[in-house]
């Protein structure tokens, strides 16, 4: 295969070809190409495209899919965050059951950096170093100033809807000084927790702990993290005239443009990145031998959206730290395993 083609995953109408590359040492006779770390040093590149306080879009080029996937899996499941773990229900006379309320409260994202806190073992007592305490104390009353024929419950009653803004942080120990400039609170104050009617009370104490997404999805720091491979649309023979217009309409706007070359209207791929690879073009017989839909195997377009507790660029950095930590732990464990078998003999 041509050198460039080795790097492409081919997308056909009914299947995908050339999925796993053969980029291993000695797999191509006579070719002494670099591999492993040396090759990574040559081909690795990162391009950050867009950065907002909650989202980052960047390109990771030159790594193998296994490492890009490891990064994605760690972003989803192995970076710790703080979330409500224990709910001490003092009084709940609303219609929503205790356990349903507790489940909903657990899913509320909390603005706290998990690196400021320690892990809490199941039997450890809660301390100011491993737990954050919130109090939720709401009672619903009738609104004496409501109009006689009012039907909107938010005007008829006071506190009929309980929102996350009503969660009150109760700083313990040295938390008040530690978080003086970044108070711990729910990230969004407008998440509806439950609804009450006059006479109903909700009073509970909430304890937040550190956890990872592997344990419960509420601890996942990302709204989602995903990657896609860069599409590469290859036009093998010219597409001209009205066919070119049809060709352009098979792709999302901006991918293909019509250029005028020597009086002939030709279709040209200008921005393959915008393509969503819907394979619409493969449904038309006239283009079946003129176009080749491929993806570049080692060009990953990452999109990481954070829930807000941790900035997205910090998340990517921490994901790499976690992968490095896994290697360290495994190395130490391997040394232990070898040492113990050597002493047994």
Partner 1 sequence: MDVDQEKPSYIALLEVPEDKIEIVPGASADLTSMTFSIKEEDHTLGNALRWCIMQNPQVDFCGYSIPHPSEAKTHIRIQTTESTNAIDTMNKGLDDLKAACHMVRSKFHQRLTEGKYTRSEQ
Footprint of partner 1 on this chain (CB under 8 A)? 24-26, 35-37, 39-41, 44-53, 58, 60, 63-64, 66-67, 69-70, 73-74, 78-80, 115, 118-119, 121, 212, 313, 316-318, 320-334, 336-338, 341
In the complex, minimum distance from the CB of residue 203 to partner 1, in angstroms, rounded to a whole number: 31
In the complex, minimum distance from the CB of residue 160 to partner 1, in angstroms, rounded to a whole number: 31
In the complex, minimum distance from the CB of residue 40 to partner 1, in angstroms, rounded to a whole number: 6
Q: How would you class 21 by CB atoms within 10 Å of its CB: exposed for 0-12, middle for 13-18, buried for 19 or more? A: middle
Closest CA to 161 of 196, 137, 131: 196
Q: Which residue, 73 or 141, is less far from partner 1 as judged by CB?
A: 73
Q: Which residue, 242 or 328, is less far from partner 1 as judged by CB?
A: 328
Greatest extent of the chain over all pairs of C-alpha atoms, in Å: 91
Measured distance CA(280)–CA(255) in Å, rounded: 13
Q: Which residue, 46 or 107, is less far from partner 1 as judged by CB?
A: 46
In the complex, minimum distance from the CB of residue 134 to partner 1, in angstroms, rounded to a whole number: 23
Measured distance CA(248)–CA(291) in Å, rounded: 12
Q: How would you class 334 by CB atoms within 10 Å of its CB: exposed for 0-12, middle for 13-18, buried for 19 or more? A: exposed
Q: Which residue, 288 or 330, is less far from partner 1 as judged by CB?
A: 330
Closest CA to 214 of 122, 77, 80, 85: 77
Q: Which residue, 155 or 331, is less far from partner 1 as judged by CB?
A: 331
CB 307 within 8 A of CB 187: yes
Q: Which residue, 158 or 322, is less far from partner 1 as judged by CB?
A: 322
In the complex, minimum distance from the CB of residue 126 to partner 1, in angstroms, rounded to a whole number: 15
The C-alpha torsion from 45 through 51 and 54 to 60, rounded to 10°, is: -10
Measured distance CA(93)–CA(10) in Å, rounded: 60
Rg (CA), the chain: 28
- DSSP H helical ranges for 195-234: none
In the complex, minimum distance from the CB of residue 195 to partner 1, in angstroms, rounded to a whole number: 30
In the complex, minimum distance from the CB of residue 277 to partner 1, in angstroms, rounded to a whole number: 24
Q: Which residue, 51 or 168, is less far from partner 1 as judged by CB?
A: 51
Enter the tokens of residue 3. Answer: 């050198």
């Amino acid at each position: 295969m041509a050198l460039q083609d080795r790097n492409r995953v081919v997308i056909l109408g009914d299947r995908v070809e050339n999925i796993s590359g053969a980029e291993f040492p000695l797999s191509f006779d006579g070719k002494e190409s670099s591999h492993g770390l040396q090759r990574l040093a040559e081909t690795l590149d990162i391009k950050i495209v867009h950065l907002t306080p909650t989202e980052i879009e960047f390109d990771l080029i030159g790594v193998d899919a296994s490492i890009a996937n490891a990064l994605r899996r760690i972003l989803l499941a192995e970076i710790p965050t703080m979330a409500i773990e224990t709910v001490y229900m003092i009084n709940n006379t609303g219609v929503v059951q205790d356990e349903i309320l507790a489940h909903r409260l657990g899913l509320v994202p909390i603005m706290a950096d998990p690196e400021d806190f320690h892990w809490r073992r199941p039997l450890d007592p809660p301390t100011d170093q491993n737990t954050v305490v919130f109090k939720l104390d709401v009672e619903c009353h009738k609104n004496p100033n409501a109009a006689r024929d009012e039907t909107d419950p938010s005007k008829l009653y006071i506190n009929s809807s309980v929102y996350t803004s009503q969660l009150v942080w109760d700083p313990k120990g040295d938390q008040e000084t530690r978080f003086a400039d970044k108070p711990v609170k729910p990230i969004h104050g407008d998440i509806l927790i439950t609804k009450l009617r006059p006479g109903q009370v909700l009073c509970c104490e909430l304890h937040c702990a550190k956890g990872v997404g592997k344990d419960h999805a509420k601890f996942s720091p990302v709204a989602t993290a995903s990657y896609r491979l860069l599409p590469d649309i290859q036009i093998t023979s010219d597409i001209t005239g009205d066919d070119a217009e049809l060709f352009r309409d098979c792709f999302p706007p901006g991918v293909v443009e019509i250029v005028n070359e020597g009086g002939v209207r030709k279709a040209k791929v200008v921005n393959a990145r915008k393509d969503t690879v819907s394979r619409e073009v493969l449904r038309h017989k006239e283009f079946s031998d003129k176009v080749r839909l491929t993806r570049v195997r080692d060009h990953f377009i990452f999109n990481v959206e954070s829930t807000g507790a941790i900035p997205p660029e910090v998340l990517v950095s921490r994901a790499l730290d976690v992968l490095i930590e896994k290697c360290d732990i495994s190395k130490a464990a391997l040394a232990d395993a070898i040492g113990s078998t050597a002493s047994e003999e």
